[in-house]
Structure 1
Amino acid sequence: MTYTSPAVVIDNGSYTTKAGFALDDLPSLVFNTNYSSTSDGKINIGDDTIETNPEGEVMTVFDNGLIYNFDHIVDNWNYVYDNIDQGNKVDSKDYPLLLTEPTWNTSKNKLATTQIAFETLEVPIFALVKTPLAQLYHMNRSSGLVIDVGSSIASVTPIVDGIIQSKACFHNKYAGDFVNLHSLNYFNKKLGDDYFNQLLPKKFQDSKLQLSESFKNYYISHNVLHDFKSSILSIKSMTLPPQVYSEPVNYQLDNDSYVTVNQDEKHRLLEPIFEPHAYQLPNISIPQPTIDKPQTQGLSQLIIFTLKSLEHQITSSFSNEHAGTTIPLHSAHAKFNETLRDLLSNIVITGGGSLANGLTERVIEDLKRSSHMYFNNYPAIQSYKLYSTALKNHPLGDINNIWDKQFGSWLGASNLASMLSELNIDEGENSGTNIALDNWFITKSDYEELGEDLVLEKFK
Structure 2
Amino acid sequence: MASTAPAAIYGGDEISALVIDPGSSWTRVGFAGEDTPKVVIPTSYGKEGDHVYVGDNDVHAPRPGMEIANPMIDGCVDDWDKTVKIWDFALSKRLYADPKEHPLLVTEPSWNPPKSRERAAEVAFEELGVPAFYLAKNAVCAAFACAKPTALVVDVGSAVASVTPVIDGLVLKKATFHNNLAGDNVNSHLKYLFNSRGIALTPHFMISKKISVDVGQPPNATLKSIEGLTSSFMEFERERILHEFKESTSQLLELPYSDSVANTKQPRSFEFPDGYNLNFGTERFITTEPLFQPQKYPLPDTSLDTNLQGIAELITSSVAACDVDPRSTLVNNVVLIGGSTLLQGFTERVNSEMIASFQGMKIRILAPGSSSERKYACWIGGSILASLGTFHQMWIGKKEYEEVGAVIVEKRCK
Instruction: Output the TM-score relative to the length of structure 2.
Output: 0.89
| 2:41–2:90 CA contact under 8 A, matched in 1 | no
What stretches of structure 1 of length at least 5 have no aligned partner?
290-295, 315-335, 373-380, 421-434
Cα deviation, 1:164-217, whole Å, max 9, x if unaligned, reads 11111000100000000000001101226xx34478741594223322111111
More helix by share: 1
Larger RCO (CA under 8 A, 6+ residues apart): 2
1:173 to 180, 194, 216: 180
Q: Distance in 1 between matches of 2:291 and 2:340?
A: 10
Q: Which has the larger radius of gyration?
A: 1
Deviation at 1:309, TM superposition (A): 1.4
Residue 129 of structure 1: which of 128, 132, 136 is its match?
Answer: 136
- CA 1:46–1:251: 2 relative to 1, 3 Å: same
Per the normalisation by structure 1, the TM-score is 0.80
1:20 maps to 30
Partner of 1:157: 164
Alpha-carbon distance in structure 2 between the residues aligned to 1:53 and 1:97: 34
Query: How far did residue 267 of structure 1 move?
Result: 0.9
Residue among 70, 95, 118 paired with 2:80: 70
Distance 1:199 1:246 in 2: 30
Consecutive aligned runs of 4 or more in structure 1 exceeding 4 Å deviation: 196-201, 239-244
Q: What does residue range 291-370 of structure 1 map to in structure 2 within 5 Å?
A: 296-310=308-322, 314=323, 336=324, 338-370=325-357
Partner of 1:430: none
Distance 2:195 2:141 in 1: 40
SS in 1 for 2:40: strand
Q: Distance in 1 between matches of 2:158 and 2:262?
A: 29
Would you say 1:405 and 2:367 are equivalent positions? no
Superposed, which structure 2 residues align to 1:48-447 within 5 Å? 48-55=57-64, 56-85=66-95, 89-191=96-198, 195-197=200-202, 201-203=206-208, 205-221=223-239, 223-238=240-255, 242=261, 245-262=264-281, 264-289=282-307, 296-310=308-322, 314=323, 336=324, 338-372=325-359, 381=360, 384-387=361-364, 390-392=365-367, 396=369, 401-420=370-389, 435-439=390-394, 441-447=395-401
1:44 correspondence with 2:53: yes
Counterparts of 2:304 and 2:143, CA distance in 1 = 32
Note closer, same or farther for the CA distance 1:19–1:452 as it changes in structure 2 (3 Å cut): closer
Aligned partners of 1:200 and 1:254 also within 8 Å: no
For 1:58, the aligned partner's letter is: I
Percent of pairs with identical residues = 31
Structure 1 residues 23 and 199, CA, compared in 2 at 3 Å: closer, same or farther?
closer
Q: CA RMSD in A?
A: 2.1
Q: Residues 191, 260 of structure 1: CA spacing in aligned structure 2 closer, same or farther, 3 A cutoff?
A: farther
Count matched residues: 388
Give secondary structure in 1 for the equivalent of 2:154: strand
Alpha-carbon distance in structure 2 between the residues aligned to 1:205 and 1:75: 34
Please report how far the alpha carbon of residue 80 of structure 1 lies from its aligned counterpart in structure 2 after TM superposition.
1.5
Counterparts of 1:212 and 1:449, CA distance in 2: 47
Distance apart, 1:7 and its partner CA: 0.7
Is 1:10 matched up with 2:29? no
Q: Which runs of 5+ in 2 are unaligned?
A: 1-5, 209-221
2:201/2:241 contact within 8 Å kept: no
3-state DSSP of counterpart to 1:436: helix
Residues 101-120 of structure 1: CA distance to partner in whole angstroms, max 9, x if unpaired? 00000000011110011011
Distance 1:115 1:65 in 2: 19
Residue type of the alignment partner of 2:136: V
